[in-house]
Amino acid sequence: MQRFPCPFCGPRDETEFHFAAESGKTRPEPAGEVGAERWAEYLHLKKNPKGPTREIWVHTTCGEFFLMERDTLTHHVAGSSALGAES
Amino acid sequence: MSSKRIAVSGAPRRELRFSFDGKALTGIEGDTIASALLANGVRIVGRSFKYHRPRGIFGAWSEEPNAVVDVALDGVHTPNVRATTHTLAEGMEVRSVNTGAGAERDRNALIDRFGQFLPAGFYYKTFLWPDWHMFEPRIRAMAGLGRLDPETEPPADCPLVSAHCDLLVVGAGPAGLAAARSGAASGQRVMLVDDQEKTGGSLLHRAARIDGEVGTDWAQAVAGDLARTGHTVLARTTAFGIYDHNLVALWQRRPDAPDALWHVRAKQVVLATGAIERPLVFPDNDRPGVMSAEAALVYLRRHGILVGERIVLATNNDKSHAVAVALREAGASVIVADTRSSAGAAAGPVVRSGAKVEAVHGAGGVEAVNVGGDRIEADCLLVSGGFTPTVHLLCQAGGKLRFDESIAAFVPGDPVAGIAIAGAANGQFALSEVLAEGHRAGGGGGKLPATDSEDESYGIEAAWPAPAGKARQWVDFQNDVTVKDIELAARENFRSVEHLKRYTTLGMATDQGKTSNMNGLAAMAAITGRTIAETGTTTYRPPFVPVPFTVVAGRRRGEFFNPVRRLVLENEHRAGGAVFREYGGWLRPAWYGSGSGADEVAREARQARETVGILDGSPLGKIEVIGPDAGTLVDYNSYQTISTLKPGRIRYGFMLTESGVIYDDGVVSKVSDEHYVVSCSSGHVPGVVARLEEWQQDRFDRARVFIHNSTPQWATLTATGPRSRDLVASLSLDVDLSDEALPHMSFSDGSFAGGPARVARVSFTGDRSYEVSVPSSRAKALSDAMQEAGRTLDAVALGSEALLMLRAEKGYIIAGKDTDGTTMPHDLGVTGPRDRRKGEFVGKRSLFTENAMREDRPQGVGLTVPDGAPPLPTGAHAVETANGKRRSIGFVTSSYESPSLGRPIALALVERGLSRMGEEIEFFHLGRTMRATIAPVCAFDPEGARING
């Protein structure tokens, strides 16, 4: 079982977390100006990289979404930060 | 009968009575089942899995391939335990497994005569026609392991213990003890775990002196010091799996308590797991009486058992010569047959060099051994093919191995972060080096333990299995895999070790090939002309030993498996005769009364339409959205615009996924411009809270809108029916209940019993309804008051089943029941927001995709059946036939016999359903066809007069 660092609560077992999204995805809008392919890409296409990745996760017990950098191959977790704080 | 107890060191031990295959025997305290059987001279302890060959005890611990038994003790039946690791207890009934009438006389023993016709894969190749499944049950019955006792369900009493430490040391032999001691000395919080009863590992049977003390005394002192200084020392505890980020799973066997499962998160893990002796492979090397040499030493030193009187010891290394010396001292005659051309000096008088075992005689157990052309009478044949480091946990954690020719073994390769490995597990067999490695692995704190005994030499020269004509040479005892099976696998091109394993089942038995994998892959290497390094090992996976499911499951069984949410008023409902069912995770009254469910539900539904029904609606969502941006967030979350409501008003609407599919429906109350209450369906509360949180954090100013789930803080009792207002009026809620002050889809705040109360006119039945919410602490008072008031109004307690029927009469949907993973609002005829609403909301763009705008989408409709026809089965498919082919065009989602209408009603999703009103279509269900006519979803009071009736 992996251990993830919630930026607010500290390290916790992975069962307390849900994956939310790959980071860097922006919702295309307004709806009237978004083409079908662009919308389908937003809805369905994931990069799913092998190796280092930046993802949005939610710590279900505190309800906070945050950014996590981890490696999908080695399961090494490089770190996490509150959203909006990383820039 | 050749093995026997000769002496027991230390204080006299209590005698324990037990039975084996029905025969009464006696052991002593401290015995394993295996040592007790050996003390009684029992030779045959089981039959092999496939050929039913007689088998004896081979090992002394978890590597044991043969001695698997069923144990009954105090009414608890435990199948498939290793006799070598299971502690003997008074009154234990032990039975051999996979035997017809006990291990000694097995009625399937005949199978072995046909052994040469039963190579690997035989059954699957032979019983292909007409169907393997025809033969499978009888073949399975002949091969196998122990039996579960269906009469006894083990209690769900194994706790899960979570722990953290700086240093977890697995194995309390010399390396592990040195590691734990140096870890503690360098200031770490240490956990030391060992799977045996006593601390010491190899020190318990191989004499040594450390820091001036006898090895076992030193071990006791180190473990004792650790425990006294606040560290954790666990005996009888097996580390069976290592998982991501150094989570180690432990199985602890406690003497007077149920077993426990531990999850230990360790900053650093030291694996000091030792090594396992593997057999030499020669013809008939599976006879009872063939035993690991190291095991013989364990039985001698720890249990006072001499495993034979005339012993042949076949070896390829120096280590087992010490065993020969010890056995001679204990009174046995021992002849050492060493495969090496010049055997070591420690050998003692009777040693044959360059000697191989050519044959083993004795169908029921070793009687004689052929070595170098001579027949030697013997009652026991000890074997040592060298030691295989126990690297399972390291490999589970992703560690790679390298083959070390000098010790003929795979040893740890590149280091793994957070894990150190020391001692024999690391391929180190000299005690002084073992201690040094352990000391370093633990952090190097304190003084390095020193041994004042001389290191034993190892001096192994590999002696790997090789094909030997017609003779059967066993590699995997438990699964009956011979060298010939490996040859066959190679011939049929199953050459990769992973294919070899699956084709022959090598290493797939409950011992997981602890004694056989190394020999098996070496044999494959020899047969295919590759090196052992090139051949490689199979993947190591948890668990290291079989762990009972009761331990893994722990207390998460029965009602704790997926605990239901419970109503505050559960006891009151019970007193009222409620029959409970689970709805969306909540345990709720399905109906009341002791009659048949269908009768009671019909009675409740009919009466609620006539007088007034009282329903516990507490699980309905009450999610508060508060702040200046609350209206924007609620609008964004909803298909319908909510914020345009006046305060005190309520609106029904859908929540969509980003794919435009209906996720849930419900009502939203506007308390003020900065305060809304989202009342979603009971089962969707956590999901709706989660999506509100997600959108709030993703695109709103968190200082301007806040979400709070207050569902559990409030109890809601609903009065529905023509007399509902009379009932609520008598509760003195301090609310004006006139239709002018409180029209349908509005709410008003009042008080009840000195606390707040909210009365909302929302209806899920189509009749005039009032939802009365009070703090959960006042739920019972409200319930009592409503019961009391209901007495004169002929009120009825309404369960969930009747409510489901009443709402279906009105065509009100249950999201997820009357909709599926494709249903969009316009499929239910709700198109306003899609066509007219400006601005963004969740799922909007998806409502305009090519797929969303197809005309043949399944749409929500009602159904009527011909006069006198029974209700349609829920799930029945609507079908159409074109060109002779029948095709599903939808299905029935809800179906009831309506007591108010006196006829069946149903809801369905049907392709183009909304444009097919009045059309009769065909339905198909489990071979039956029936007909029904498409109708509007609302079957009862279509004008809606009763909402104010």
Which residue in A has a C-alpha nearest to residue B701's C-alpha? A84
Best of A1, A4, A14, A57 to mutate (most B CBs within 10 Å, chain B): A1
Q: Which helix (H) or strand (E) holds B712?
A: none
Terminal CA-CA length for chain A = 30
Among candidates B263, B845, B850 on the partner chain, residue whose Cβ is nearest the Cβ of A34: B845
Nearest Cα residue to B57 out of B366, B312, B447: B366
Sign of the C-alpha dihedral, residues B915, B913, B872, B796? negative
Q: Distance, in angstroms, between B805 CA and closest chain A CA?
A: 35
Among candidates A1, A58, A60 on the partner chain, residue whose Cβ is nearest the Cβ of B247: A1
Q: Distance, in angstroms, between B700 CA and closest chain A CA?
A: 12
Neighbours of B841 (CB within 10 A): 19
Best of A19, A27, A73, A80 to mutate (most B CBs within 10 Å, chain B): A27
Checking DSSP bridges between strand B586-592 and strand B565-566, what pairing results, if any?
parallel
B913 Cβ contact partners less than 8 Å away, ≥ 6 residues apart: B858, B859, B860, B861, B890, B934
Q: How far apart are CA B193 and CA B202, in angstroms?
A: 15
Q: How far apart are CA B933 and CA B916, in angstroms?
A: 9
Residue in the structure block whose two tokens are 């029905």: B22
Sign of the C-alpha dihedral, residues B485, B489, B490, B494? negative
Q: How far apart are CA B648 and CA B401, in angstroms?
A: 71
B136, B59 in Cβ contact below 8 A?
Answer: no
Residues of B in contact with A73 (CB under 8 A): none
Checking DSSP bridges between strand B623-626 and strand B706-709, what pairing results, if any?
antiparallel
Checking DSSP bridges between strand B260-271 and strand B920-925, what pairing results, if any?
unpaired
Three-state SS for B808? helix
Which residue in A has a C-alpha nearest to residue B247's C-alpha? A1
Interface check A23 vs B, CB under 8 A: no
Q: Distance, in angstroms, between B705 CA and closest chain A CA?
A: 15
As given in the structure block, the two tokens for residue B34 are 């295996």
For A43, B609, B850, the CA distances from B748, given in Å and listed in that order, are: 41, 25, 44
B278, B519 in Cβ contact below 8 A?
Answer: yes
Q: Distance, in angstroms, between A87 CA and closest chain B CA?
A: 15
Which residue in B has a C-alpha nearest to residue A42's C-alpha? B658
Which residue in B has a C-alpha nearest to residue A75's C-alpha? B244
Which residue in B has a C-alpha nearest to residue A59's C-alpha? B690
Phi/psi for B832 (5° steps) reads: -50, -60
pTM of the model: 0.89
B694 vs A2: CB contact, 8 Å cut-off?
Answer: no
Q: B339-365 b/e with 16+ CB inside 10 Å = b?
A: bbeebbeebeeebbeebbbbebbbeeb
Terminal CA-CA length for chain B = 94
Q: How far apart are CA B36 and CA B25, in angstroms?
A: 8
Burial class (CB in 10 A: 0-12, 13-18, 19+), B282: buried
Residues of B in contact with A39 (CB under 8 A): 845-846, 849
Among candidates B263, B693, B697 on the partner chain, residue whose Cβ is nearest the Cβ of A83: B697
Which residue in B has a C-alpha nearest to residue A77's C-alpha? B245
Residue in the structure block whose two tokens are 């024999």: B424
Q: What is the pLDDT of residues B382-420, one digit of tens each?
A: 999 999 999 999 999 999 999 999 999 999 999 999 999
B609, B601 in Cβ contact below 8 A?
Answer: no
Q: Distance, in angstroms, between B670 CA and closest chain A CA?
A: 25
Three-state SS for B793? coil
Q: Distance, in angstroms, between A9 CA and closest chain B CA?
A: 17
Residues of B in contact with A14 (CB under 8 A): 244
B937, B907 in Cβ contact below 8 A?
Answer: yes
Low-confidence residues in chain B, pLDDT < 70: 1, 100-101, 106-111, 113-117, 123-124, 126-130, 132, 135, 138-144, 343-349
Phi/psi for B325 (5° steps) reads: -60, -45
Q: How far apart are CA B96 and CA B100, in angstroms?
A: 9
pLDDT band of A87, cuts 50, 70, 90? very low
Give me the amino acid identity at A17.
F
B850 vs A36: CB contact, 8 Å cut-off?
Answer: yes
Interface check A34 vs B, CB under 8 A: yes
A28 vs B850: CB contact, 8 Å cut-off?
Answer: no
Q: Distance, in angstroms, between B105 CA and closest chain A CA?
A: 47
Neighbours of B801 (CB within 10 A): 23
B616, B573 in Cβ contact below 8 A?
Answer: yes
Among candidates B659, B693, B848 on the partner chain, residue whose Cβ is nearest the Cβ of A63: B693
Among candidates B243, B263, B845 on the partner chain, residue whose Cβ is nearest the Cβ of A31: B845
Neighbours of B644 (CB within 10 A): 11
Q: Which helix (H) or strand (E) holds B532?
A: helix B532-535
Q: Which helix (H) or strand (E) holds B434?
A: helix B431-441
Best of B845, B850, B851 to mutate (most A CBs within 10 Å, chain A): B845
Interface check A43 vs B, CB under 8 A: yes
Q: How far apart are CA B27 and CA B33, in angstroms?
A: 8
- ipTM above 0.90? yes
Q: Distance, in angstroms, between B642 CA and closest chain A CA?
A: 20
Q: How far apart are CA B241 and CA B397, in angstroms?
A: 9
B771 Cβ contact partners less than 8 Å away, ≥ 6 residues apart: B617, B620, B716, B717, B718, B759, B760, B761, B762
Residue B904: per-residue pLDDT: 97
Residues of B in contact with A77 (CB under 8 A): 245
Nearest Cα residue to B895 out of B925, B918, B857, B851: B925
Q: How far apart are CA B186 and CA B177, in angstroms?
A: 14
As given in the structure block, the two tokens for residue B886 are 């029948």
Alpha helices in B546-640 (DSSP H): 549-553, 570-575, 597-610, 630-637
Three-state SS for B830? coil
B245 vs A65: CB contact, 8 Å cut-off?
Answer: no
B676 pairs with which residues across the strands? Answer: B625, B670
Q: Distance, in angstroms, between A28 CA and closest chain B CA?
A: 9
Residue B803: per-residue pLDDT: 97
B845 vs A65: CB contact, 8 Å cut-off?
Answer: no
Nearest Cα residue to B66 out of B215, B226, B285: B285
Give the CB-side neighbour count of residue B331, counting CA atoms within 13 A: 13
Residues of B in contact with A30 (CB under 8 A): 839-840
